[in-house]
Structure 1
Amino acid sequence: MDLIEIYIDENYNERLDSFLTKKLNTMSRNYISKLIKDGSVTINGEKSKPRYLVKEGDLIKVKLPRIRELKISAENIPINIIYEDRDILIVNKPQGIVTHPAPGNTTGTLANGLIYYDKSISEVGDASRPGIVHRLDKNTSGLLIIARNQESYEALVEDFKNRRIKRMYMALVYGRFSLKQGTINAPIGRHPVDRKRMAVVYENSKEAITDYKVLEEFKDYSLLEIH
């Protein structure tokens, strides 16, 4: 079992099932409700109910079954293919779709649609995330490179590992910047309390360097290009 701990440092006044659905955004609300009812979720050491209102000072613990190797079924899911050849696909993943199966999301993912489009991808790379060499969060849209054979899979994994492939993101963030372009250099690792979140930490962390450029400013927000 994997254990996730979330410490509540402000008063959300939100149902437990709704709160966890947002925090653990690869899992459906129905799946999270089942975990709560099965006793796999505790509040301050006690079992709870989906309707419990989360409050400041609560310590939530979620026990998740480890993901076993999944048999992914092919599903006729529309895929926006930007480019393809015999080795790779480049697809535009929309917001709201999970990249590959996870607890509570074993169907309806991009991976299910990929093996419907090209059955041979099911034999490439990891069985639970066939052909996938990098991912985007459920609520993030953007381009993904998909390997169509083992040779291209291994080459792409190596390219990402050695940073030969450059990633660029656009993000709308709260606030405005005094510098219109700059670099943020701060180590990143698991949040010491909320293990599903990443944070700036100085122990058991990885180097994280982010270059940003302000593309457009609004009253309270900034549109950034991030590398």
Structure 2
Amino acid sequence: MVKIVLASKNKHKLQEIKEILKELNIELVSMDDVGLESLEIIEDGNTFEENSMKKAVTVMEKTNLIALADDSGLEVDYLDGRPGVYSSRFAGENATDDENNKKLLESLKDVDFNKRTARFVSVISVVRPDGKKLVVRGECEGIIGFEKKGTNGFGYDPLFIVPEYNKTFAQLGPEIKNKISHRAKALEKLRRELNSFLGDVI
């Protein structure tokens, strides 16, 4: 079994990725598990790809283990793609989910429903100690609601309506979300490519 370090301290993200990749012959561990609980990685890239790769390379270099990093966020068309790479700190550094959601609703005040189109984006990078790299991207289209609905999920999930279900990610729950989300789509691509990427180390 190959050990892979997830370059994140987000327990929700770790659980979500573990669930989707559970059939692969890998052991996914967190930064805490490898003694990197105090490591802070500055996400100063202009794209999800840059941030994802920076996190993966940093953790790989610190541990000499294969590292996997996800950088994800919300792009709102009416806001010209914002909050984008600033999704987790849209309302400021160390902003809470509630504060970010509140700012998003304020930014879209009085905007018609059909102009509130958005997408969640997830870019996953995997880096091996020998320098070999793999990058995949997944997107999920949706619409930003007028109020929070649902109690599952995290981040912008209570505002992100999936048109096919007419429910937010937070209303759908993990079973459905983990099949249709941006991260699920990126991880599905990853799952198809990971065995060949790890071929000589499995």
Considering only CA atoms, is the larger Rg found in Structure 1 or Structure 2?
1
What's the TM-score once normalised by structure 2's chain length?
Answer: 0.26
More helix by share: 2
More strand by share: 1
What's the TM-score once normalised by structure 1's chain length?
Answer: 0.24
